[in-house]
């Protein structure tokens, strides 16, 4: 049987190639771990796998696999708000500096003319003049199934009314889950359009608003709240 005999230089080259491939695989593993972690912060997880493109840089591939959201700053009577959007849907709206404000917003893509932001500006303009404009903006906040259920209930609280944490816990079929409901309300990604400011304590106390109690009071007064608790 014939035997393959490799020159010493060829063997060394093969060893070097093997080491290079191992290092590349290890680096890719570290990169994927990092990108998954960052994706949870920046965006909904995009699980698509794209083929490599000749000449494509690592940063470019990172942006394709885990795209940063578009963002813009919108001035309001209660302070500037930061908006985020992806795929023609609003994914976030926060008062700047509020509790649970997202990290690394400086890496997001500033695009004030993104169509969703035009709709949002019109909605906010109407809202802050005392109107109750229809929510004609597609909302897609990232979150667990439980939080999505809670946020859906928040959107059903009528303009000018409030709801208690305990009442929401009963609606999600878990009367003892008031604390979990509080976490979902506090981590609401889209202020105002998902009206977490309409959730109050058991005795109509103004508690638990990430944007601050003074803003919560101002929003309820703007809506003409008459202490009608559901």
DSSP 8-state code for residue 77? T
Cα–Cα distance, 66 to 62 (Å, whole number): 6
Q: How many C-alpha atoms does 183 have within 13 Å on its Cβ side?
A: 7
Cα–Cα distance, 10 to 203 (Å, whole number): 80
Neighbour-count burial of 24, counting CB atoms closer than 10 A to its CB (0-12 exposed, 13-18 middle, 19+ buried): exposed
Strands 161-164 and 199-200 come out as: parallel
Locate tokens 């813009």: which residue?
Answer: 72
Q: Is 60 a catalytic residue?
A: no
Task: Provide the b/e sequence for 92-115 (b: ≥16 CB within 10 Å).
Answer: bbbbeebeeeeeebeebeeeeebe
Q: What is the DSSP string of 198-215?
A: GEE-TTS-----TT-HHH
Closest CA to 66 of 54, 92, 48: 48
DSSP 8-state code for residue 189? S
Distance from first CA to last CA of the chain, Å, rounded?
A: 87
| Catalytic center residues | 196
């Amino acid at each position: 049987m014939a035997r393959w005999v490799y020159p010493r230089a060829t063997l060394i080259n093969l060893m070097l190639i093997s080491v290079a491939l191992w290092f590349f695989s290890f680096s890719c593993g570290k990169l994927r771990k990092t990108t998954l972690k960052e994706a949870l912060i920046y965006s909904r997880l995009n699980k698509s796998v794209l083929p490599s493109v000749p000449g494509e840089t690592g940063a470019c591939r990172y942006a394709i696999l885990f795209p940063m959201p578009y963002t813009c700053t919108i001035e309001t009577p209660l302070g500037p708000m930061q908006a985020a959007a992806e795929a023609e849907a609003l994914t976030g709206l926060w008062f700047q500096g509020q509790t649970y404000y997202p990290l690394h917003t400086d890496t997001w893509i500033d695009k004030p003319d993104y169509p969703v932001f035009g709709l949002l500006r019109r909605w906010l303009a109407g809202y802050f003049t005392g109107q109750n404009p229809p929510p004609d903006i597609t909302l897609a906040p990232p979150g667990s199934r439980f939080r999505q259920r809670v946020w859906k209930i928040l959107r059903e609280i009528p303009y000018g009314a409030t709801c208690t944490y305990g009442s929401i816990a009963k609606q999600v079929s878990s009367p003892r889950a008031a604390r979990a409901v509080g976490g979902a309300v506090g981590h609401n990604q889209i202020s105002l359009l998902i009206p977490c400011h309409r959730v109050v304590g058991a005795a109509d106390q103004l508690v638990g608003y990430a944007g601050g109690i003074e803003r919560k009071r101002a929003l309820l007064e703007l809506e003409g709240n008459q202490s009608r608790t559901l």
